[in-house]
């Protein structure tokens, strides 16, 4: 008996691309927050992890640190921000958009990234029986595609003739084996 090896049934390309776009947007918002803080306080060593955890709280810590030598009245960070007329609403807007994108921060060689796990968008077979169904369906699709080169094949009739086992995806312009058939 051969050892079972999972086969890829489908990949949700659209959702994967959307997640990658969200990761890119989150990265750009982190960069925007970093540049905003650097512009307001004239600091350069921003702790990315602290910034990720809570932008406004980290900014307040940086304000306290930046003005510690001139803060003779020992004002709180919030009062210093108010006294210096720093427009905190700008950072809060960035923070709001940033936190709306739910992706974890990972550090790769000390470079912050928001990675999207491709495996979350893949569907695999879980048994030899599922592999057999997928293989048979793919063989049928291969034959249909070969036949389509010579004659006009109506997608609608193929779906009906196979009781929905073989479907036609109009967006991708290709046949696929029904997941319901494979996993049933």
Contact between 33 and 96 (Cβ < 8 Å): no
Q: What is the mean pLDDT of residues 69-79?
A: 83
The pTM of this model reads 0.74
Q: What is the pLDDT of residue 103?
A: 85
**How do residues 112-146 score in pLDDT, each as one tens digit?**
888 889 999 999 999 999 999 999 999 999 999 99
Share in percent of the chain as helix, strand, coil (round to 5): 55, 10, 30
* DSSP conformation class of 101: S
Confidence of residue 23 (pLDDT cuts 50, 70, 90): very high
Residue 166 has pLDDT above 70, yes or no: yes
Residue 45, H or E segment: none
Q: What is the pLDDT of residue 181?
A: 94
Confidence of residue 12 (pLDDT cuts 50, 70, 90): very high
């Amino acid at each position: 008996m051969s050892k079972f090896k999972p086969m890829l049934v489908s990949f949700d390309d659209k959702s994967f691309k959307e997640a990658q776009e969200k990761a890119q947007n989150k990265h750009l918002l982190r960069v925007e927050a970093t540049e905003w803080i650097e512009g307001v306080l004239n600091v350069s060593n921003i702790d990315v992890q602290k910034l990720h955890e809570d932008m406004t709280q980290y900014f307040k810590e940086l304000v306290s640190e930046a003005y510690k030598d001139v803060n003779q009245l020992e004002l709180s960070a919030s009062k210093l921000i108010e006294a210096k007329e720093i427009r905190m609403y700008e950072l809060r807007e960035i923070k709001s958009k940033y936190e709306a994108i739910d992706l974890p921060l990972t550090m790769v060689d000390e470079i912050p990234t928001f990675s999207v796990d491709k495996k979350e968008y893949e569907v695999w077979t879980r048994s030899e029986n599922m592999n057999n169904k997928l293989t048979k369906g793919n063989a049928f699709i291969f034959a249909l595609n070969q036949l389509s080169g010579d004659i006009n094949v109506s997608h609608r009739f193929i779906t009906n003739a196979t009781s929905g086992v073989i479907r036609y995806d109009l967006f991708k312009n290709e046949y696929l084996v029904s997941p319901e058939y494979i996993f049933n």
